[in-house]
Copies of this chain bind each other. A is one copy, B any other.
């Protein structure tokens, strides 16, 4: 079994925040939305249901944990959770805090507005804030 490596596009588009038991926890570098991406550190997975039975419960627990962290940090109007993977094949789960005044509301976020990368001080601030709630 080859060792896990993060998809290059995911690596380029995100900032690593922490690692949990199953997933790497990444921040999407798009200041339009507080947007986490969970990537199970397993090789060869594409779909959510490709997770081994033993990993499914942990994946679900980590989705809940990421959702609660975003709620705590940002008090969003809604959480969006999705495993799509039509472009990047490696299984990854989006957990996104939504606001009624965000640039895509009420549509899903993907492909609506161009990504707006964080500035350097802004990125340091949001990463610190998220690390505090993600544990």
A: residues with CB less than 8 A from B are 46-49, 56-57, 59-61, 63-64, 67-68, 78-87, 98, 105-108, 110-111
Contacts and interface: CB of A to CB of B under 8 A. Distances in A.
How many of these chains are in the complex?
2
B78 A80 contact: no
B78 A49 contact: no
Contacts of A98: 86
What is the interface of chain A mostly: helix, strand, loop, or mixed? mixed
Nearest to A79: B47
Contacts of A49: 63-64, 67-68, 79
A57 B59 CA distance: 10
B60 A84 contact: no
